[in-house]
Amino acid sequence: MIEAEADTPILDVHDMTVAYNRRPVLWNVDLTIRKPGLTAIIGPNGAGKSTMIRSVMGLVPMVSGTVTAWGEEIAKQRHRIGYVPQRGSVDWDFPISVFETVLMGTFGNLGWFRRPGRKQKELASQCLERVGMQDFANRQIGQLSGGQQQRVFLARALAQEAELYFMDEPMAGVDAATERIVFDLLKSLSEEGRTIVVVHHDLRTVPEYFDDVVLLNVRIVASGPVDTTFNSANLQATYGGRLSILDTMAEAVQKQKETE
């Protein structure tokens, strides 16, 4: 359904460095995704996995680097990009129903001032059905379990009808049933020719479900197809502790910039 544009990569991240409080937390990330499929970003806690996808989408400012999607700036391709944030990032007590939440996914393509009409509402119900949450459509979102909340976020992303998805730990703390549903969904999305980048924490499920893997620990240790990249040497390099020199450098940069 989606035609691969000959040579321009779907996503191209070049020399992306991100700093919090002037201290680099993500070093010189270079990543190119050329063909649709499922990509997992894995790495230890504090490796900057979420930071990476958040800065790729422009939610966190970069110190240096460029990000392009289909050869153009991310900002110009937003309608083709979907996002599933971490569950902890919103106020679940917000007075909104499951259906209304999913409907929000359609707002991006709707544009300013226009109200969602019948078409959007149908789309939202379909998306809700795909994640098996149609029976909860009128619940307030706070009354759902963690896994159900995650599925609502997924449905909302589906309603964005994007070609490139970023998902921040969609499997964190969900029940087995949800995990099953989420993986099936990711699979079918990928079969439809979409590209999905998932921040993931469960190493065991990586070979089973993903096509590509990015091993991240403050910098990209390795990236490529799961078959060749997901090996014990790379995992050792990723999980075997932080690089002390990078820490020293981060401190030096922060200090110089503060008290030159």
Partner 1 sequence: MLGNQTLIVLIGTLLLGVASGMVGTFAVLRRRALVGDVVAHSALPGLCLSFLLFHSRSMILLLCGALVSGLLGAVVVALMKRFTRLREDAIQGIVLSVFYGGGIALTRFIQNRYRNEPGSDLESFIIGRAATMLKADVLQIAAVALVTTIIVLVLYKELTLLSFDEQFCRVQGWSTMGLDLTLMLLTAITVVVGLPAVGVVLTAALLIIPPSAARFWTDRLSTMMMIACLFGGASGVVGTLVSANISGLPTGPLIVMTSTVIFIASWLFAPHRGVVWNGNRSRDLDVDPSWLVTESQFADESPADLQIKRGSGM
Partner 2 sequence: MSIATVLNKSATLFGAKTPIPFEGLTTKIAELLSMAPTDVQNAFWTIAVGALCATCCALAGCFLVLRRMSLLGDALSHSVLAGMAAVYLVTGGVEPVPMLIGALIAGVMTAVLTQFVHKAANLPEDSSIGIVFTSLFAFGVVVVSQAKHVHLDLDCVLFGDLAFAGVDLRPMMGWLWPHSFQSLVPSLVITLLFLIVFWKELRLTSFDPVLAVTLGFSAGVMHYLLTTVVAIVTVSAMGVVGLLVVALLIVPPATARLLTNRLSTMLWLSCLLGTVATTIGYFLALKWDSSAAGLTAVVAGIELLAAIVFSPLDGLLGRTIRTVRLRTRICAEDVLAGLFRKQERGDADAGVAVSTVQECIELAGNGFLAAGSIRWLKTRQLLDHSGNRVSLTARGYNYGRSLVRSHRLWEAYLHENFDLPHDHLHDPAEAMEHFIGPEIQRQITDELAAPAEDPHGREIPHIER
Binding site for partner 2 (CB under 8 A): 14-15, 17, 27-28, 30, 64, 93, 215, 219-223, 237, 243-245, 248-249, 252-253, 256-260
Q: Does 57 participate in binding partner 1 (rule CB under 8 A)?
A: yes
DSSP 89: G
Q: Which amino acid is at 217?
A: N
Residue with smaller CB distance to partner 2, 183 or 210: 210
Is residue 212 within 8 A of residue 190, CB to CB? The reply is: no
CB of 203 to partner 1, least distance (A): 16
Tokens of 44: 């230890």
Look at residue 249 and give the partner it binds from partner 1, partner 2, none, a contact being a CB closer than 5 to 8 Å depending on partner kind: partner 2
Stretch binding partner 1 (CB under 8 A), from 104-112, 186-194, 205-213, 250-258: 104-112
Residue with smaller CB distance to partner 2, 120 or 149: 149
Residue with smaller CB distance to partner 1, 75 or 252: 75
Question: Residues 134-153 vs partner 1: string with x where CB under 8 A?
Answer: ------x--xxxxxxx----
| Cα radius of gyration rounded to whole Å, the chain | 19
Separation between Cα atoms, residue 127 and residue 159, nearest integer Å: 6
Q: Where are the alpha helices (DSSP H) in the chain?
A: 49-56, 98-103, 107-110, 118-130, 146-159, 176-191, 206-209, 226-229, 232-239, 244-258
Stretch binding partner 1 (CB under 8 A), from 64-72, 114-122, 222-230, 234-242: 114-122
Separation between Cα atoms, residue 146 and residue 154, nearest integer Å: 13
CA geometry: angle at 199 spanning 229 and 65, to 5°?
A: 80
CB of 51 to partner 1, least distance (A): 7
Q: What is the length of the chain?
A: 260
Look at residue 140 and give the partner it binds from partner 2, partner 1, none, a contact being a CB closer than 5 to 8 Å depending on partner kind: partner 1
Strands in 195-199's sheet, in edge-to-edge order, are: 81-84, 164-168, 195-199, 37-42, 212-217, 219-225
Tokens of 85: 């944030």
Strands in 64-69's sheet, in edge-to-edge order, are: 23-33, 11-20, 64-69, 72-73
Separation between Cα atoms, residue 252 and residue 247, nearest integer Å: 9
Residues in 67-86 that interact with partner 1 by CB under 8 A:
75, 78-79, 81-83, 85-86
Look at residue 258 and give the partner it binds from partner 2, partner 1, none, a contact being a CB closer than 5 to 8 Å depending on partner kind: partner 2
Q: Does 46 participate in binding partner 1 (rule CB under 8 A)?
A: yes
CB of 226 to partner 2, least distance (A): 15
Residues in 161-220 that interact with partner 1 by CB under 8 A:
169, 172-175
Question: Where do contacts with partner 1 occur on this chain (CB under 8 A)?
Answer: 20, 45-46, 49-51, 54, 57-60, 75, 78-79, 81-83, 85-91, 94-97, 100-101, 104, 107-108, 110, 112-116, 140, 143-149, 156, 160, 169, 172-175
